[in-house]
Structures are given as C-alpha cells and as structure tokens.
Amino acid sequence: MIIVLLGPPGAGKGTQTGPLARKYQIVGISTGDIFRFNLNAGTPLGLEAKNFMNQGLLVPDDLTCRLVEDRLSQPDAQNGCLLDGFPRTVYQAEELEKYLAKKGQKVDYCLLLDIPEKELMARLTGRRVCRSCAAVWHLTFSPPPANLVCDRCGGEIYQRDDDGEVAASNRLKVYQAQTQPVVDWYKAKGTLKTVTALGPPAEVEKAIIKAMS
C-alpha cells in the first residue's frame, strides 16, 4: 500500500506518520526529516538543501526526486510506504507516478489534512522537535519536558530554524503556490480523501483510518 499524506506545514503530517505507518505495517518516509538529518549531519546533501530549507523554500525538484527514488528502492520500502511531505509540486507528483508505474505500483490513497489557515502560524511557531528521533511537542498544546531532553530517546529538543515567524510564513505561501496544485492534481485523479485535522492527534488518526476504510 502506498499512501501520500498532504497538508500545509503545521497540519500534523509528522505526528500522524508514525502511528499510521505502524498500523499499516509500512515504512514512513518524511522528506523533511531526511533533509534535516542530512543538514544536522553536515552531509553534501544537507549543505545543498540548507539555504532553501532555512528560508522556507522548497529544495529543487531534481534533488528531491533523486532522494525519494533512492529511498523507495531500499528493501524496507518494498512492502509499501507512507510519504510525508512528498510530493510537494506537480512535477514531483508526476515523477512519483512514473517511478511507481515502472514497478507496477501506484499511489493508493492521497490523504489531505485540512485545517484553517489561521491555526497554522501558532502551530508552527510553538512547535518543538527532537533532533534525534523527530518526536514533536507544542509549547501550549503538549509542552515538552522542562529540561528539553526527549523522553523517548534522550535527544535534544529544539525549535526548527524554519519554524521561526519569517520562514514559517514563507512556507505557508509556498504551500499555496506550489503544493495546492498537487492537491488538485490528486483530486482530479479521484485518489484524494480529505480529513479535518483539528482536534487531538488520536481523533485525527481515527478520522484518517475511517476515510481509508
């Protein structure tokens, strides 16, 4: 089963990816996490992506598509996968479709996490994440441990550079300009299911599972 999780920055894609991937026994693949891991580790890929990420812009399509194709060719992705944050442009959606068609596969579900735009800035700027395992907290809604040490893996809890006001606001604009057309693209194909992403994560997860059944 191949699932694409779409939605604006701050809709909760990262929060839903782990539980859903476990439920459907497929691997969760977040392009944002892969870029951040490389950025933190100072790899050539991370250095190439850094300026785009820190400004809230998309990393160029060719680099992103190569990264995803490489990840999808790994043994743990052969059973299916949940893609979080990819595709984000129509070009990426078309490349994904071509790549999967070569393997006799297709995207089975495209799930859109829908949320009013006015909610998003507060969600993004209050978000804190673990540098090691990518677990997510929010200063108001689910505060992190006071010592900013992850209670799951012991990693450092920090604010992503692109969750500051300026980059976060850019990311929302980029979403409207470049990723909203991807939503329309999947809608035209009849693959899109829309789920309201307000409310506690467990409720959103239930709504997603219901939409897929």
Residues that bind ligand AMP (CB under 6 A): 9, 31-32, 35, 52-53, 56-59, 64, 85-86, 88, 92, 162, 171
Active site residue 131: no
Active site residue 36: no
Q: What is the 3-state secondary structure (H, E, C) of the chain?
A: CEEEEECCCCCCHHHHHHHHHHHHCCEEEEHHHHHHHHHHHCCHHHHHHHHHHHCCCCCCHHHHHHHHHHHHCCHHHCCCEEEECCCCCHHHHHHHHHHHHHCCCCCCEEEEEECCHHHHHHHHHCEEEECCCCCEEECCCECCCCCCECCCCCCEEECCHHHCHHHHHHHHHHHHHHHHHHHHHHHHHCCEEEEECCCCHHHHHHHHHHHHC
- Catalytic residue, from 36, 123, 128, 171: name it: 171
Least distance from C-beta 166 to ligand AMP, angstroms? 13
Residue closer to ligand AMP by CB (options 104, 125) is 125
- Catalytic residue, from 13, 36, 123, 128: name it: 13
- Catalytic residue, from 36, 123, 127, 128: name it: 127
Least distance from C-beta 190 to ligand AMP, angstroms? 22
Residue closer to ligand AMP by CB (options 61, 205) is 61
Residue nearest to ligand AMP (CB): 32
Active site residue 66: no
Residues annotated catalytic, as ranges: 13, 88, 127, 160, 171
